[in-house]
């Protein structure tokens, strides 16, 4: 068997540092590496058993301007293991612009996949629409939560942000009610600590306001609770008597060099234990105190981070207290962290399998044999197979990224501001980082370091104007051109004015369409699959996340894109693969979608072996 090596230049881009939770799902990091750069430690580990190769690590964000199209043009192939959709889109567009093949990958639990994307030959990463993250109406989060994930979203996006984030950001923690009374006598200052308050008094006041008064306010709307179980107001004095609070902070004190932790202060050691209401209350008060005493300089600039232990403790406790009020089962910190961080915990074996598949496909790309496979790791064997190889699909002619097909946007042009369009569509949906927006020849918005002061002021003023009142009005029938110069990506968006939207299904009051999927394969094109045999295109290139126990992975019907999903059909011994259109009949009776790894790595290979080196393109 011929032996192939990557022995000239190898680059790795990773902005993460090693966490303790990383140690159980990979083979390069050790306990002594915690806190160090993943990219640099990985380089050192690999060089110990392959000392002759050249590896250049970058402890940086792949979206930094240094990693532009010219940078990508140096390489023979890019290997992707990023942990979020935005970064994956960014790399996909840079690879398309640089005409460099991309090997994508992802794992979640026992599931995983490796896909190959070659410009003009296979579909790009964005040829098929990616399911949008699950969103929830504000009224459900603030007024009528029915699932633990609703309580997590409330604790993370509302309460945590209000207490520790940007004070100027709009944030309504008052439970919606038809009652006209205010949330408190001093509603504007309820989250501000007065000079004569100690931390326990302040913590209890916040507790009583959000878990007591706000719940009573919600109960005043009797119509809401006719067919629902009424919540129970929680007051700190009823859960934690004054004498019990004195126990806070006395157990297992951490030294000054250790990160602040409410669990450590209170002697709570097992993150998989489910705390009782009293324990959650103590963690809530202790975490609040630690934030304002040990991390005072960060207050006002904090946002929730799943790797921030104190933040996870606070959000877990707050979510559990709210869950108890609304008769929702409590969860452990381990479970709450998974929901809050959209985490399905990784398995080292799956990661190792996917890593091997990445290398196999990279060798095929470098040999230019064209026999690529998109391979899916299954949780349960099917026809005695855990790995399912699939031939890549051709580029989708309706893709707005690689085929530059125009999109359409339904929006109320008399109500929505340009800022809404930029934040919710251009950045959130299209994944652009440095957008430029034009209406005909008029430039409506642009970002960049080289802009004049008056231009910046002009574009900032435009952000606060509704679309129909811009210098070049955007109304029904307008065609907008949106461009990201860093990604070398341009798309046209046709505007359709629409008056009303469904608050439950369309909370953003915008509907972007145009990502229609490729036509389904003909049924007579199917072929049977044997271990190692050729596969047909009847299997999907767009699997969906397996639904786990955490509701955060739910995919609602309201987020489905036009066209039917291609899926992994269920089949048994001796039968052939067939593409079914039944949306409920999926592999192992589960929904599967593109998997995002919990790790964040980008690897680029240049000069493969001794005889396959490609001349570097001039930058």
- Binding site residue list for ATP: 14, 22-25, 38, 83-88
- The structure tokens listed for 197 are 């308050």
Contacts of 596 (CB under 8 A, 6+ apart): 82, 83, 84, 85, 88, 106, 108
- Residues making up the annotated binding site are 14, 22-25, 38, 83-88, 124, 127, 399, 402
| Residue 354, number of CB atoms within 10 A of its CB | 21
Cα 356 to the chain's mean position, in Å? 25
Cα 250 to the chain's mean position, in Å? 38
Task: Give the angle 130-132-134 at the CA atoms, nearest 5°.
Answer: 145
Cα separation of 342 and 272, whole Å?
Answer: 17
Q: Are 78 and 95 in contact (CB under 8 A)?
A: yes
- In terms of Cα–Cα distance, which of 567, 556, 561 is closest to 520? 567
Phi-psi region of 225 (alpha: psi -120 to 50; beta: other; left: phi over 0): alpha
Using alpha carbons, list the distances in angstroms from residue 104 to 214, 264, 466, 537. Answer: 47, 40, 39, 18
Task: Give the angle 490-482-79 at the CA atoms, nearest 5°.
Answer: 45
Contacts of 381 (CB under 8 A, 6+ apart): none
Residue identified by tokens 């394969």 is 521
Cα separation of 550 and 336, whole Å?
Answer: 9
Cα 126 to the chain's mean position, in Å? 16
Q: Which residue of the set 8, 95, 139, 377 is catalytic?
A: 139
Backbone angles phi, psi at 494, to 5 degrees: -85, 125
- Residues making up the annotated binding site for Zn(2+) are 124, 127, 399, 402
Contacts of 300 (CB under 8 A, 6+ apart): 164, 165, 166, 167
Cα separation of 79 and 600, whole Å?
Answer: 11
Q: Which helix (H) or strand (E) holds 290?
A: helix 277-294
Cα separation of 286 and 261, whole Å?
Answer: 9
Cα separation of 76 and 609, whole Å?
Answer: 12
Cα separation of 354 and 114, whole Å?
Answer: 7
- The structure tokens listed for 207 are 């507790």
- The structure tokens listed for 472 are 């070049």
Query: Is 139 known to be catalytic?
Result: yes
Active site residues: 139
């Amino acid at each position: 068997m011929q032996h192939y090596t990557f022995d000239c230049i190898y680059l790795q881009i990773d902005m993460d540092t090693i966490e303790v939770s990383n140690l159980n799902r990979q083979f390069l990091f050790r306990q002594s590496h915690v806190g160090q750069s993943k990219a640099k430690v990985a380089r050192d580990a690999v060089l110990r058993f392959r000392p002759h190769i050249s590896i250049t690590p970058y402890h940086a964000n792949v979206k930094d301007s240094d990693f532009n199209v010219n940078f990508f043009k140096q390489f023979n192939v890019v290997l992707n293991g990023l942990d979020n959709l935005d970064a994956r889109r960014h790399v996909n567009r840079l690879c398309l612009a640089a005409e460099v093949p991309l090997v994508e990958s992802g794992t979640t639990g026992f599931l995983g996949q490796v896909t190959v994307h070659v410009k003009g030959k296979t579909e790009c990463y964005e040829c098929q629409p990616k399911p949008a993250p699950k969103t929830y109406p504000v009224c459900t989060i603030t007024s009528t939560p029915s699932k633990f994930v609703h309580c997590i979203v409330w604790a993370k996006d509302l309460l945590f942000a209000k207490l520790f984030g940007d004070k100027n950001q709009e944030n309504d923690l008052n439970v919606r009610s038809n009652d006209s009374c205010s949330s408190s006598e001093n509603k504007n200052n309820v989250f501000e600590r007065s000079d004569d308050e100690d931390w326990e008094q302040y913590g209890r006041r916040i507790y009583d306001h959000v878990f007591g008064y706000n719940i009573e306010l919600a109960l005043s709307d009797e119509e809401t609770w006719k067919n629902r179980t009424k919540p129970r107001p929680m007051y700190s004095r009823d859960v934690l008597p004054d004498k019990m609070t004195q126990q806070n902070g006395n157990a297992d004190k951490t030294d000054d060099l250790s990160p602040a932790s409410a669990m450590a202060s209170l002697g709570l050691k097992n993150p998989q234990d489910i705390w009782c209401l009293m324990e959650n209350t103590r963690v809530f008060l202790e975490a609040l105190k630690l934030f304002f005493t040990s991390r005072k300089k960060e207050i006002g600039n904090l946002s929730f981070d799943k790797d921030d232990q104190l933040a996870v403790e606070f959000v877990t406790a707050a979510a559990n207290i709210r869950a108890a009020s609304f008769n929702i089962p409590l969860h452990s910190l381990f479970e709450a962290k998974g929901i809050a961080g959209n985490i399905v915990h990784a398995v080292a074996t799956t990661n190792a399998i996917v890593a091997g598949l990445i290398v196999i496909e990279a060798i095929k790309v470098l040999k230019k044999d064209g026999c690529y496979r998109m391979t899916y790791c299954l949780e349960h064997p099917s026809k005695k197979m855990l790995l399912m190889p699939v031939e890549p699909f051709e580029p989708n002619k309706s893709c707005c990224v690689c085929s530059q097909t125009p999109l359409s946007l339904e929006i109320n042009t008399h109500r929505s501001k340009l800022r809404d369009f930029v934040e919710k569509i251009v950045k959130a949906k299209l994944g652009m980082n440095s957008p430029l927006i034009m209406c005909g020849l008029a430039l409506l918005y642009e970002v960049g370091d080289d802009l004049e002061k008056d231009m910046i002021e002009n574009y900032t003023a435009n952000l606060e104007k509704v679309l129909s009142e811009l210098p070049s009005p955007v109304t029904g029938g307008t065609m907008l051109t949106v461009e990201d110069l860093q990604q070398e990506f341009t798309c046209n968006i046709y505007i359709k004015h629409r008056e009303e939207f469904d608050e439950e299904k369309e909370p953003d009051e915008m509907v972007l369409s145009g990502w229609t999927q490729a036509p389904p394969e003909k049924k007579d094109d199917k072929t049977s699959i044997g271990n190692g045999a050729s596969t047909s295109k009847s299997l999907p290139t767009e699997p969906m996340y397996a639904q786990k126990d955490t509701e955060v992975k739910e995919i609602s019907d309201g987020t489905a894109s036009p066209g039917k999903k291609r899926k992994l059909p269920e089949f048994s011994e001796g039968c052939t693969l067939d593409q079914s259109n039944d949306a409920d009949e999926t592999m192992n009776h589960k929904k599967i979608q593109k998997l995002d790894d919990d790790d964040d790595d980008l690897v680029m290979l240049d000069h493969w072996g001794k005889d396959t080196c490609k001349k570097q393109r001039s930058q």
